[in-house]
Amino acid sequence: MHIRNVVVAIGAVAAVIAGSVMAGPAPTASAAAPVDGRFTPVTSARAWSGKVGTSPTSVTLGGRNGIPSSATAVVLTATVSGPTASGYVSVAPGGSGASPSIQNFGPKQSISGTTTVGLVGGKAQVKVSSGTATVALDVAGWYGSSSGGSTYTPLAPTNVLTGTVGTGATRIVVAGKAGVPSNATAVVLQADVSRPAAAGTLRLTPAGSAAGIASVTYQKGVTVANTVTVRLSGGAVQARVSSGSARALADVVGYYSPSTSGAVFVPSAPVRAATVAAGTTAKNVTVAGTAGVPRNAVAAVINAKVGKGSVGGSLRVVGAGLASSVPTQVYAKGQTIGNALIAPLASGGKVSAKVSAGTATAYVDVVGYFIDGSTGSGTGVDVSYPQCGKTIPTDQSFAIVGVNASLANTTNPCLQQQLAWAAGSKGGTAQPKTQLYSLFTNPGATLASKWPMSNTLDDGKVVPTPKSYGVCRAQASGVPQSKYVTTTACSYVYGFARAYEASTKRGVSNAAQFRWWLDVETGLSHTRTTTYNLAALEGMIAALRDARVTNVGIYSTASHFGEIMGSVPSTSSARGLPSWLAIGPARLDQAQSACSSAGFAGGTVAMTQYVTAFGASQIDRDWSCR
């Protein structure tokens, strides 16, 4: 279900890593990580190099250098050479309107920055914010659907390299140390070069590899950091510089392995999570539950940038409560410079930011996150009769199933199969794992297929109406239906009948065990008189309360609800009910932001619905606002 004729188009849709199943029996719950979103390391290779300007240059990365055309994202290092002006380099998914800052540079400064970027049709796009520059892209691996791929496990930063590195390879054994298992396939290293005697590059590659790919590009006397992903060879990596020697540091902050209990990557549109006035005391920034990151994420991929430093110093952005021997980045007074990191979110979904001296502004941008298989996607999915016989996700943390077909007096033919599917929801949110929704309708006396003529339903059920509405009375004898008169009392009984049927006659066992939502939208029948519609809605609420349902809410948009219901008085039973807000085609971060919107009838927004891509079609995803 999603609102018909929704006219809000909020932005590009982010890919969601999801399993799928034809609507049918519930899949067996499993804590194993999905196949989608696993990482396959490759030996770092130059994927592309060219001159770019301020307009995006499309770059094909899929189908080359060991990266399949089906890859959903790649890990790459962008190296800038010969820029004509100060600015930053941006690498984004192909066709994206986003311009995430991967690394900042000054005129003629050579510098590198690492990021993870989603691919659209195997493509990314590259540009600089001003002037022109030569940009080289070196790939270290890819994410996508691969049973032989690796999952990710974040670690507290642990130093594995401190010392002078020359042009000869220095072997660094990582597997079996610092929490990295012997079967690890790759590691994530946070590295820096301190005050080098000459300009050059630090190359961190698989042990025994002669690849001349830059991991850190540095200038004489300037300390600079970068985060790199390196494939392991014999459990080791190697370090060397392009000329002379330099002092280098490296912390391992995570690893990839064949483990099924690790996490998989979900790319997202670049979103600024926070702008922090950083000082020498760490400030926490909440990442999980905002900026397009679900609350069950175990780590976030962050582009961190520092600027406006009152003095020169170093920026450290780490998982809250953790420490690192290697700074996220080192900067001069007033300089803007960044670095990427994969931050663990074990401590309340937070990261912390601080500088070594003075004050500075830190920018925290999220470009993706990692989840494991224990709690699914962290989002819900709602389905109904349109999904009968179609492939639907299996990664939902909670599910909402429609009990009706296209009309409020009909039954969803796939209700039982979809309830079985919903029972396989992973949980882990504030929402019940299985919820139901029923359509609101009030066509009025002249259009209803069966309009009530009293307070008694066909099966003898007596519906008590509010005193202010009076009682539902029969139409005058001999009057054709085209001349019937709609009243608030009969509207109330009509609504009661629809929800009574939904809770007792549509195949729902024990309606009281579920949270119920009442779907109010202009695409369904309603009268032009808001008081009649509100009476019908109150009748539906009363029927659900009569069925001992304790958790009832309203699904709609502000415009649809206002048009159909008008102003809801404080005396109405609809007043203050939780709201499920539909926002149309959108991203997760936009659904999260919509939680701060006003609810319907004085209620608060408990859940938002956004329409997103699912395979070649679309699906309704839902975000729990608490």
Q: Residues 173, 176, 182, 185: is their CA dihedral positive or negative?
A: negative
Judged against a pLDDT cut of 50, whether residue 447 lies above it is answered with yes
What is the model's pLDDT at position 35? 84
Q: Indicate the pLDDT class of residue 374, thresholds 50, 70 and 90.
A: confident
pLDDT tens digits, 509-527: 999 999 999 999 999 999 9
Q: Quote the crossing angle between the two packed helices 488-504 and 530-546, to the nearest 10°.
A: 40
Which of the residue ranges 25-39, 124-138, 219-233, 434-448 would you say has the lowest mean pLDDT?
25-39
Q: What percent of the chain has pLDDT over 70?
A: 95
DSSP state of 316: E
Average pLDDT, the chain: 92
Of 288 and 148, the one with more pLDDT: 288
Strand segments, DSSP code E, in 496-598 are 515-519, 552-556, 579-585
Amino acid occupying residue 298: V
Instruction: Give CA 203 to chain center in angstroms.
Output: 33
The C-alpha angle with vertex 43 and arms to 41 and 45, in degrees rounded to 5, equals 115
Average pLDDT over residues 109-114: 91
| Alpha-carbon span 65 to 73, nearest angstrom | 14
Average pLDDT over residues 59-77: 93
Average pLDDT over residues 64-69: 91
Most confident of 103-117, 319-333, 440-454: 440-454
What is the model's pLDDT at position 4? 46
Judged against a pLDDT cut of 90, whether residue 504 lies above it is answered with yes
Number of residues that make up the chain:
626
The H or E element containing residue 142 is: strand 133-144
Judged against a pLDDT cut of 50, whether residue 607 lies above it is answered with yes
pLDDT tens digits, 577-594: 999 999 999 999 999 999
Selection from 604, 582, 608 nearest residue 593 by Cα = 608
| Alpha-carbon span 352 to 116, nearest angstrom | 21
Average pLDDT over residues 334-345: 93
Which of the residue ranges 11-25, 95-109, 193-207, 543-557 would you say has the lowest mean pLDDT?
11-25
Quote the pTM value. 0.89
What is the model's pLDDT at position 19? 52
Average pLDDT over residues 334-359: 94
Strands 552-556 and 579-585: parallel
